[in-house]
Amino acid sequence: MPRYKARVKFNVSLKIDFCRALLILLLLKQFVLG
């Protein structure tokens, strides 16, 4: 089922984007506080 695989791939990329955004936010916070 290629459609299901595509959906999983999309979810994974979404999670990666979310984690990256969180990392950037944490770095910014450290920069501002430090």
pLDDT of residue 22: 98
Residue type, 27: L
Query: How do the pLDDT tens digits run along the chain, 34 residues long?
Result: 678 898 999 999 999 999 999 999 999 999 999 8
pLDDT of residue 30: 94
- The number of residues making up the chain comes to 34
15 burial class (0-12, 13-18, 19+ CB within 10 angstroms)? exposed
Distance CA 3, CA 6 (A): 5
pLDDT of residue 4: 85
